[in-house]
Amino acid sequence: MGDGNSNSSSRGISGSSSNNNSNNSNSNRPEWLQQYDLIGKIGEGTYGLVFLAKIKSNRSKSIAIKKFKQSKDGDGVSPTAIREIMLLREINHENVVKLVNVHINHVDMSLYLAFDYAEHDLYEIIRHHRDKVIQAINPYTVKALLWQLLNGLNYLHSNWIIHRDLKPSNILVMGEGEEQGVVKIADFGLARIYQAPLKPLSENGVVVTIWYRAPELLLGAKHYTSAVDMWAVGCIFAELLTLKPLFQGQEVKATPNPFQLDQLDKIFRVLGHPTQDKWPTLVNLPHWQSDLQHIQGHKYENPGLHSVVHLPPKSHAYDLLSKMLEYDPRKRITAAQALEHEYFRLEPLPGRNALVPSQTGEKVVTYPTRPVDTTTDFEGTTSLQPSQPVSSGNAVSGSMAGPHVPSRSGPRPVPMWNESWQHSNAKGCRFPGSSAAADEKERLRNGDAWISSTTEVETLLREWLYSMQNFMRGDCASEDPHLKWGYRRNTRTQVQQNLLYKRSESYLFFLVLYCDDPAVTIKLSFAQNIR
């Protein structure tokens, strides 16, 4: 970011031929993207990438933008995308993530989903307690998280929606703000509504973690019921209590639908052997029959779930957990029943803000903000540090206390469509695997901070840059609508705003325009005292 010294990798700093390629994609940036400031990448999955962005018109509002991988050529719009969007359009519940907008990039027909941003998720919360706090999550938070998760799930199930992929990383928790500590169930890529056809998960080409998979699915059941989600909730509940996954099996990676012996083994070790007595339809399951020698030949001692989760067998928490981890899906507790469980009627009562207990005296844990990889742009490429700046010495960098900006020569591609690279929250930002992290710390110690720019600043910059672009464009002003803000295809002009930097009371902006030929690189800067 910013001062650009962070990554001197020459990746992407290549000749002008690749330059043109990157220009092509950038110059085609659709206008809708301009309503956002991209902060960076926050997630990646089989479906595609997730980015953190801010809405320009409302800087306080953070948005998570999920970009679907382009569908295979010739398949058209991906069924997963259609189903997820269709489901999300119909869902409206406090404990389910809210789809704010759907955008189509008409150039490559890629799809972008804009969601309300949630700062935390159960995966990170659990990890923070396990690795940093080294202390269990307080009972209030566990109960409140679980209650809200069940509340959202009950809503989904009563609308005949099965999630099918519940796991800690899909359970989001809102960060600071009006909805702080509110649970949001996310990622409906595998969700299905009522009788829509279901392929076995492995045939969907998706990799789902098997740790939260219900035993009936592991044994090859062809029917999904909402009970599969409740099994996953049970696993998550246990993980909230112990800070480690309850059944951590080794996944067999084969297609289609391999028999996950190790996962079943892990379950049986804790819960004991399922019997036909307790689970009458067990014998009808494909894998139960086909793998007699493996499972049924093995005798499991029953060490008891309570000893694994460190709960007294008579406690309400234990009672609820064991009902969620009931082998027979028909006997497994439903979300509606679970919400009525005695566990939720006893102190501490679950509240809306799961992270901050209403009672005083409890220590409030501050969770880290989500790591943001600021080196990845919307194309998912990491070809260039946004910050490569470019300018050496001169008045601009001379006025900065920040680290030295190395000068560069030669043409440089500008893969970023976005114009600003400031952080939303410098304090908590982490940069995993990036040398930028060290720089960031360094700068903070020096008393400088990245600004969360104001609308005013934005507007000013935009106008200015726009006029500069017009200037650079010279006589060839075209009708290309994407040129307004972005990069022009096949021209020598590239524009990048590199820095948005705050020092003392004044905001200093640097905008650098540069051409393929470094000799004609124009460096410009100006400062504006906002206050």
Partner 1 sequence: MEEFDSRSTPPSLSTQLLCQETEACLNEEERAAVDDEETFIYSVSGIEEDGYVQMLLRRETHVGESESPRASTDDWIKCARLDAITWILKTRALFGFRYQTAYLSMTYFDRFLSRRIIDGEREKYWAIRLLSLACLSLAAKMEECRVPALSEFRVEEFNFDSKVIERMELLVLNTLEWRMNSVTPFAYVHYFTAKLSKNHTPPKNSISKAVQLILAMMRDVNLMDHRPSVIAGAATLVALDRKLTKQAMELEINSLSPNLFSELEDLFSCYNRMQELDMEVGTTIESPIRLRGMDACENSSVISALTAKRKMLTFSDFDRNCGIPEEKRQR
Quick check: 411 and 516 in contact, CB under 8 A?
yes
Strand, helix or coil for residue 393 = coil
What are the tokens at 22? 């990157």
Mark the segment that binds partner 1 (CB under 8 A) among 89-97, 338-346, 439-447, 506-514.
89-97
Q: 168 burial class (0-12, 13-18, 19+ CB within 10 angstroms)? A: buried
With CB under 8 A as the contact rule, the residue among 49, 65, 99, 142 that binds partner 1 is 99
Q: Please say if 121 is a catalytic residue.
A: no
With CB under 8 A as the contact rule, the residue among 11, 46, 57, 109 that binds partner 1 is 109
What are the tokens at 343? 């566990």
What are the tokens at 68? 């679907």
| Amino acid of residue 384 | L
Q: Is the peptide bond before 286 cis (omega within 30 degrees of 0)?
A: no
| Amino acid of residue 531 | R
Q: Is the Cβ of residue 39 or residue 156 nearer to partner 1 in the bound state? A: 156
| Amino acid of residue 20 | N
With CB under 8 A as the contact rule, the residue among 15, 21, 57, 90 that binds partner 1 is 90
User: Is 67 one of the binding residues for partner 1 (CB under 8 A)?
Assistant: no
44 φ/ψ angles, rounded to the nearest 5 degrees: -150, 140
Site track for partner 1 across 320-359, x = CB under 8 A: ---------xx---xxx-----------------------
CB 154, min distance to partner 1, A: 8
User: Is 159 one of the binding residues for partner 1 (CB under 8 A)?
Assistant: yes
Mark the segment that binds partner 1 (CB under 8 A) among 8-16, 102-110, 297-305, 506-514.
102-110
User: Is 87 one of the binding residues for partner 1 (CB under 8 A)?
Assistant: yes
What does the longest C-alpha to C-alpha distance in the chain come to? 84
10 Å Cβ neighbour count for 302?
11
Q: Is the Cβ of residue 77 or residue 254 nearer to partner 1 in the bound state? A: 77
User: Is 441 one of the binding residues for partner 1 (CB under 8 A)?
Assistant: no
Quick check: 497 and 465 in contact, CB under 8 A?
yes
Q: Is the peptide bond before 348 cis (omega within 30 degrees of 0)?
A: yes
Catalytic residue among 165, 187, 373, 448: 165
User: Is 291 one of the binding residues for partner 1 (CB under 8 A)?
Assistant: no
What are the tokens at 195? 């009788």
User: Is 528 one of the binding residues for partner 1 (CB under 8 A)?
Assistant: no
User: Is 276 one of the binding residues for partner 1 (CB under 8 A)?
Assistant: no
Residues in contact with partner 1, counted by CB under 8 A, come to a total of: 58
User: Is 258 one of the binding residues for partner 1 (CB under 8 A)?
Assistant: no
User: Is 89 one of the binding residues for partner 1 (CB under 8 A)?
Assistant: yes
Q: How far apart are CA 352 and CA 301, in angstroms?
A: 41
Q: How far apart are CA 298 and CA 265, in angstroms?
A: 9
> Which sequence positions are flagged as catalytic?
165
List contacts with partner 1 (CB under 8 A). Answer: 30-32, 71, 73-77, 79, 82-83, 85-87, 89-90, 92, 99-106, 109, 157-162, 192-200, 216, 221-227, 281, 284-285, 329-330, 334-336
